[in-house]
Amino acid sequence: MKMINILKYYSVLVLAILMAACQADKNSTEWVSYSGDKTIEARVDSVLRLMTLEEKIGQMNQYSGNFATTGALSDNQSGEYLKRGMIGSTFNVFGAEHVRMLQEQNLKHSRLKIPMLFAADVIHGLETTFPIPMAEACSWDLDLMEQTARAAAEEATASGVAWNFAPMVDISRDPRWGRVMEGAGEDVYLASEVAKARVKGFQGISHYSDLSKANTMMACAKHFVAYGAAQAGRDYHTVDLSDHSLYQTYLPPFKATVDAGVASFMTAFNDLNGVPCTANEYLFKDILREQWNFGGMVVTDYTAIMELVEHGVAKNLKDGAKQSLDAGIDMDMISEAFVTHLKELVEEGEISEDQIDVAVSRILEMKFLLGLFDDPYRYCDPEREKKVVMKPEYVELAHEAAKGSVVLLKNKNNTLPLQKNVSKKVALVGPFIKERESLNGEWAIKGNRDKSVTLYEGLTEKYKGSAVKLTYAKGTDLPLIDRATMKESVINIPDENGFAEAVGIAGSSDVILVAMGEHYHWSGEAACRTDIRLPGNQRALLKALKKTGKPIILVLFNGRPLDLSWEAQHVDAIVEAWYPGLMSGHAVADIIAGDYNPSARLVMSFPRNVGQIPVFYNAKNTGRPFDAKHPSDYKSSYIDVDNSPLYPFGYGLSYTSYAYSEVHLSASEMAMNGKVTVSLNVTNTGDMAGEEVVQLYIRDKVASISRPVKELKAFQKIALKKGETKQLSFTIDKEMLAFYNSDLQWVSEPGQFDIWVGSSSADESNHLVLDLLE
Ligand code: BGC
């Protein structure tokens, strides 16, 4: 059965169960009014006092109202529990009418008329699909990311959704892992800034306590924590990490979401140093609640309590329920562990009702803050839905975001752009020229895949009536995967039958534009790869095209950094488009034609081959660093490949060029509580307006523990007209130079720091030294 049919099947099935459950009427009680000018605490308390233990536990129970996409089904007694008013939250039900219908049914059965909270994975847009999050992060444009998150929130809240399972803020340094596409890449500072922007955008307020404002939703920081550090890049795999790495690298983006007022957290599937995150008191009690003072709510990931048994830490589901509650978890997604076992555990004295009260209070607080007690149908206005969903401003924003996310990796001899007024015959080749369904990526669960603009459509519209003439041959297909069985059944293994036609049209053209990549099921959750080259026979097709001697432009659509070692050497231009979403074809066509000057920069390094992984710019120096200028034996290096990645973090080309003036430091020494300013001029020295991402990196030369060779500490994205110069300045203070020492204390230690300001993590042309005094 095709994926889409499976989804539809489950969708209908689960809704049918819920509907059937609702036929049985129950003695309904009158509405209880919880409004008034009381504080939220008093209002929460007024409800809590009326609740039976069972009703409280019901609030901690969450179902998917849609389908079982990302894991096993629990017993799924949702119909039963609905009849007893024991579902606190449902996710992935969309549409004002749909949500209204389920809410009505819930209220009919909930003795105390407690509204249900509707959640969803609105990862990069609801119906207006923006680029996948990693692509959008490559724009380094925080305002843009906040805007797309806000647009997603407007659409989602108009479609019944009040709680978003996003942003995903996991640091990822391993492109084998399919979920790198959901985050903001390898860097702590950038990922933290992006995390804040996304929380601000989704919630639209500065703290969750203001959730009562109209059209606002709860955001959810996920997956707490270190999910991206899974062994060998395999999803759900174990994580063994020093506390130091946890504090220095993996926690900061989550802390940033707390600072940005995020309303909820989701647990991670993985175990961390032997303790699965979903049962990890250290994470949720010591760090999240005590150190960070987080007052919002915590939900498990999908069936994560059930999985405690497989992890080998819980004897059974009941034991798992106890362990997760003890760890400070408030809501159980899918496992039916809380709803089945908490009552018994209270009766046996294994847990206390107070623990349950704490969790339920947090859940009720959110429902009050969202205004659901005042109006449970607040998010169910079909008129608003019609006006808001896919409104022209959002579609335009999707176009802007898609253009801003495309990274130009190579452009030998200015192969690009292909200007409209320059006469050229262009052969369009490859499985992604007309591919439509993959353009939204794996996580756009509500984005209509039929609506995304293909590259073919974008290019034909762009070059209509121009001097550029297009011909097309697919050449080969994309290999597909049956997600139900994954690796056992790679289906549709492409053959070479189309090569001859592709080579034929290429031979009679001036330039070949090839569009290749990964089908969207090849990245995302549970889509990890050990070979991250272009799948199938796409490289073979490139090799065949290369023989024509014509220049090749390669446009890539994929969800992870790929091994492009052969392509980087043999093709003339490489455009990394990722999955750009709804406006894919138009955005990429703008870049190809030079109507938009590429301005995105990588947020994850591209390895030279899979054996280099993990390769990231902010690594340690080692005691035997390799020095290319003075190579010698017994240094930290490989025999067969350089240490550096193929394309480093922060890298990306433009159609224009930028000149950096010498960098000036206001003082070469800085007192502990002082500040210094780094200033420089950047000039657009090329022929076209453009945007440059100016990046500031530091290195702590000597510290009490070894420090990375470089760390991004600030950046500015600036627009420069042709010939224009702008003066920029960055302020450095001791916070910027601080780190976690071996006692996990956040310290600034005196000493020397290297400072670089440049166009990527590999740009060392502008170097200064700063002395931080005692
Ligand atoms: C994913 C989460 C997602 C949840 C609900 C899980 O499999 O890990 O990121 O929010 O499913 O769809």
Q: What was the pLDDT predicted at 214?
A: 72
Tell me which residue has its CA closest to atom 7 in ligand 1.
Answer: 70
**Is 286 an active-site residue?**
no
Catalytic residue among 301, 319, 330, 563: 301
**560 CB near ligand 1 (under 6 Å):** no
CA 73 and chain centroid, separation = 25
Ligand 1 centroid – CA 223 distance (Å): 9
Which of ligand 1's atoms lies nearest the C-alpha of 220? Answer: 10
Q: What was the pLDDT predicted at 734?
A: 97
| Of the options 3.30.1510.10, 2.60.40.10, 2.60.40.290, 3.40.50.1000, the CATH number for the domain spanning 658-772 | 2.60.40.10
Tell me which residue has its CA closest to atom 8 in ligand 1.
Answer: 301
Q: What was the pLDDT predicted at 45?
A: 94
Q: How confident is the model at residue 487 (pLDDT cuts 50, 70, 90)?
A: low
pLDDT, mean of residues 372-393: 96
Tell me which residue has its CA closest to atom 2 in ligand 1.
Answer: 301
Residue with tokens 């550096």: 644
Q: How confident is the model at residue 213 (pLDDT cuts 50, 70, 90)?
A: confident
**70 CB near ligand 1 (under 6 Å):** yes
Rounded distance between C-alpha atoms, residue 282 and residue 44, angstroms: 27
Ligand 1 centroid – CA 12 distance (Å): 20
Show the tokens assigned to 591: 């870049």
Higher pLDDT: 359 or 213? It is 359
Ligand 1 centroid – CA 220 distance (Å): 11
Tens-digit pLDDT profile for residues 743-753:
999 999 999 99
**Superfamily for the 53-385 domain:** Glycoside hydrolase, family 3, N-terminal domain (3.20.20.300)
Tens-digit pLDDT profile for residues 663-714:
999 999 999 999 999 999 999 999 999 999 999 999 999 999 999 999 999 9
pLDDT, mean of residues 345-356: 98
Residue 482, pLDDT above cutoff 80: no
Residue 484, pLDDT above cutoff 90: no
Q: How confident is the model at residue 101 (pLDDT cuts 50, 70, 90)?
A: very high
Residue 57, pLDDT above cutoff 70: yes
Q: How confident is the model at residue 23 (pLDDT cuts 50, 70, 90)?
A: very low
**302 CB near ligand 1 (under 6 Å):** yes
Which of ligand 1's atoms lies nearest the C-alpha of 269? Answer: 8
Which of ligand 1's atoms lies nearest the C-alpha of 166? Answer: 10
**121 CB near ligand 1 (under 6 Å):** yes
Neighbours of 124 (CB within 10 A): 32
**525 CB near ligand 1 (under 6 Å):** yes
Alpha helices in 110-219 (DSSP H): 133-137, 142-158, 188-203
488 CB contacts (<8 Å, ≥6 apart)?
A: none
Contact 89, 118 (CB under 8 A): yes
Top mutation candidate among 66, 165, 277 for ligand 1, by most atoms within 8 Å of CB: 165
Tens-digit pLDDT profile for residues 394-453:
999 999 999 999 999 999 999 999 999 999 999 999 999 999 999 999 999 899 999 999
**163 CB near ligand 1 (under 6 Å):** no
DSSP-assigned beta bridge partners for residue 692: 718
Q: What was the pLDDT predicted at 66?
A: 63
Q: What percentage of residues in the chain have a pLDDT greater than 70?
A: 93
Q: What was the pLDDT predicted at 266?
A: 98
**749 CB near ligand 1 (under 6 Å):** no
Tens-digit pLDDT profile for residues 268-284:
999 999 999 999 999 99
Q: What was the pLDDT predicted at 632?
A: 77
Top mutation candidate among 218, 301, 333 for ligand 1, by most atoms within 8 Å of CB: 301
Ligand 1 centroid – CA 614 distance (Å): 25
Query: Which has the closest alpha carbon to 175: 609, 663, 710?
Result: 609
Q: What was the pLDDT predicted at 140?
A: 98
- In words, the CATH class of domain 407-599 is alpha beta
Rounded distance between C-alpha atoms, residue 697 and residue 736, angstroms: 10
Q: What was the pLDDT predicted at 22?
A: 41
**165 CB near ligand 1 (under 6 Å):** yes
Query: Computed over its alpha carbons, how large is the radius of gyration of the chain?
Result: 27
Q: What was the pLDDT predicted at 6?
A: 39
Show the tokens assigned to 87: 């579902």
Ligand 1 centroid – CA 768 distance (Å): 45
User: How many alpha carbons fall within 13 Å on the CB side of residue 238?
Assistant: 7
Ligand 1 centroid – CA 334 distance (Å): 11
Ligand 1 centroid – CA 3 distance (Å): 17
**222 CB near ligand 1 (under 6 Å):** yes
Tens-digit pLDDT profile for residues 283-337:
999 999 999 999 999 999 999 999 999 999 999 999 999 999 999 999 999 999 9
Element (H, E) at 574: strand 573-576
Q: What was the pLDDT predicted at 619?
A: 97
Q: What was the pLDDT predicted at 486?
A: 66
Which of ligand 1's atoms lies nearest the C-alpha of 223? Answer: 9
Which of ligand 1's atoms lies nearest the C-alpha of 92? Answer: 12
Tell me which residue has its CA closest to atom 4 in ligand 1.
Answer: 302
Q: What was the pLDDT predicted at 35?
A: 57
Cis peptide before 298 (omega within 30 of 0): no
Top mutation candidate among 121, 235, 483 for ligand 1, by most atoms within 8 Å of CB: 121
Residue 364, pLDDT above cutoff 90: yes
Ligand 1 centroid – CA 574 distance (Å): 33
Tell me which residue has its CA closest to atom 10 in ligand 1.
Answer: 165
Show the tokens assigned to 110: 């909930």
Tens-digit pLDDT profile for residues 500-552:
999 999 999 999 999 999 999 999 999 999 999 999 999 999 999 999 999 99
**170 CB near ligand 1 (under 6 Å):** no
Neighbours of 126 (CB within 10 A): 29
**To the nearest whole number, what is the mean pLDDT of the chain?**
93
Q: How confident is the model at residue 74 (pLDDT cuts 50, 70, 90)?
A: low
Q: What was the pLDDT predicted at 490?
A: 61
**71 CB near ligand 1 (under 6 Å):** yes
Alpha helices in 210-306 (DSSP H): 243-245, 252-259, 281
Ligand 1 centroid – CA 578 distance (Å): 21
Q: Which amino acid is at 453?
A: V
DSSP labels, 596-651 = S------SSPBPSSGGG-S--TT-B--SSB--TTS--SSSB--SSS-SS-SB-TT-
Tell me which residue has its CA closest to atom 6 in ligand 1.
Answer: 302
Which of ligand 1's atoms lies nearest the C-alpha of 222? Answer: 9
Top mutation candidate among 302, 305, 334 for ligand 1, by most atoms within 8 Å of CB: 302
Per-domain residue ranges for the chain?
53-385, 407-599, 658-772
Ligand 1 centroid – CA 269 distance (Å): 10
Tell me which residue has its CA closest to atom 12 in ligand 1.
Answer: 121
Q: What was the pLDDT predicted at 483?
A: 73
Ligand 1 centroid – CA 530 distance (Å): 23
**521 CB near ligand 1 (under 6 Å):** no
Longest dimension (CA), the chain: 84
Q: Which amino acid is at 530?
A: T
Ligand 1 centroid – CA 339 distance (Å): 20
104, 105, 107 from 113: Cα distances, Å: 10, 10, 5
**301 CB near ligand 1 (under 6 Å):** yes
